[in-house]
Amino acid sequence: MRVDKYLWCVRYYKTRNIATEACKKGHITVNGQAAKPSREVFPTDKITLRKDQINYILTVLDVPDNRVGAKLVDIYRKDETPAEAFEHLELLRLSKEHYRAKGTGRPTKKDRRDIDDYTDDNIDFEDDAV
């Protein structure tokens, strides 16, 4: 089975076209070699793919005939992705929450005044300490 079709069948990509594009961009390797979309995969092959800033490592256990349900995916692949990769993704998500919420736009006049008051307070505090 083609590697793009396999990744679509085991639900790593929503469409075959997206899986094909990932192969063309070099995000997928089979047994350590960059894979074209038409590369055949066989049981015991190791597939490495980069998706959502995570390097997934898969071992092909069997080749499905067609796309399988989410509950049956584990029959056809073994996921050997280290847990640290998912922890790193969680840290990235938490760090993004620290900044302004998406869609809130530029600071308002009130926000600007609050920022200025905050920075002025810190400057005065440093002057008093000297």
**pLDDT per residue as tens digits for the range 57-110:** 999 998 998 888 989 888 999 988 888 888 888 887 777 666 666 667 777 888
Question: 50 pairs with which residues across the strands?
Answer: 55
Residues whose CB is less than 8 angstroms from the CB of residue 20 and which lie 6 or more positions away in sequence, other chains included: 4, 37
pLDDT attached to residue 126: 54
- Return contacts of 87-90, CB within 8 angstroms, 24+ apart: 88/53, 88/54, 89/52, 89/53, 89/54
pLDDT attached to residue 123: 59
Match 């009130």 to its residue by tokens.
Answer: 110
Q: Is 3 exposed, middle or buried (0-12, 13-18, 19+ CB in 10 A)?
A: buried
Residue range 4-62, pLDDT digits in tens = 999 999 988 999 999 999 999 989 999 989 889 888 999 999 999 988 888 899 999 98
